[in-house]
């Protein structure tokens, strides 16, 4: 009886889910194409693809109740309650969100890649080293003494950075020793 009463809504839901799956496929293919063209690390590519999947899932959770006739007033109550709880939680972890957002921006328009030797012009803590990995929250930088420094993504976008050498991870220093 339930399925007969909502047969049209279930068909619409199926079309929406199919559309979102196809959109996910094409967006992920586009992300893969962009990352291959720009030489972006496969782990960063998978991270961006996960972000797309979560965003489309949240969109589905928003659209499906509308299909089944949920009123705007019900959404207002739900979202105000959810956003109040999330807002309190996000205020406590704003720097994590800042680093994730910076990671997305770095994926799309960061001029440096894994293997490049860079210098970060931080007044308090200047760094020079080779980028080993760029993750969702931080960048891994291998400095000359062999130490691995994790540098927050949001600071990478706030501080001036100089490219010293492209693909330095494969190169040997003038004195004949490898950096890594």
Same-domain status, 88 and 116: no
CA-angle at 100, arms to 146 and 62, nearest 5°:
155
Same-domain status, 7 and 88: yes
For 114-170, write each residue's pLDDT tens digit.
888 999 998 888 889 998 888 888 889 999 898 999 988 888 888 888 888 887 655
Q: Are 59 and 20 in contact (CB under 8 A)?
A: yes
| Sign of the dihedral through C-alpha 130, 131, 132, 137 | positive
**Which three-class secondary structure state does DSSP give residue 28?**
helix
Same-domain status, 85 and 8: yes
Q: Are 161 and 112 in contact (CB under 8 A)?
A: yes
Domain end (from 63, 92, 121): 92
Domain count, the chain: 2
- The residue segments making up the domain with residue 166 are 112-170
Q: Is the pLDDT of residue 55 over 70?
A: yes
Residue 60 resides in a domain: yes
Same-domain status, 152 and 87: no
Query: Is the whole model's pTM more than 0.85, yes or no?
Result: no
Same-domain status, 116 and 60: no
Same-domain status, 86 and 139: no
What does the pLDDT read at residue 179? 47
Same-domain status, 117 and 38: no
Residue 101 resides in a domain: no
**Which three-class secondary structure state does DSSP give residue 118?**
strand
């Amino acid at each position: 009886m339930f399925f007969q009463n909502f047969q049209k809504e279930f068909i619409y839901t199926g079309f929406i889910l199919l559309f979102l799956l196809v959109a996910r496929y094409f967006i992920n293919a586009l992300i893969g194409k962009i990352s291959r063209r720009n030489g972006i690390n496969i782990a960063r590519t998978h991270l961006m693809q996960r972000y797309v999947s979560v965003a489309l899932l949240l969109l589905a959770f928003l659209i499906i109740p509308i299909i089944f006739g949920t009123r705007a007033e019900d959404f207002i109550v739900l979202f105000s309650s959810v956003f109040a709880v999330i807002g309190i939680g996000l205020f406590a972890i704003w720097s994590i969100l800042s680093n994730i957002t910076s990671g997305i921006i770095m994926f799309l328009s960061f001029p440096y890649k894994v293997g490049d030797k860079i210098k970060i012009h931080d007044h308090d803590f200047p760094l020079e080293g080779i980028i080993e990995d760029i993750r969702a929250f931080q960048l891994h930088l291998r400095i000359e003494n062999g130490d691995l420094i994790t540098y927050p993504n949001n600071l990478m976008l706030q501080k001036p950075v100089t490219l010293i050498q492209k693909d330095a991870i494969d190169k040997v220093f003038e004195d004949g020793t490898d950096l890594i």
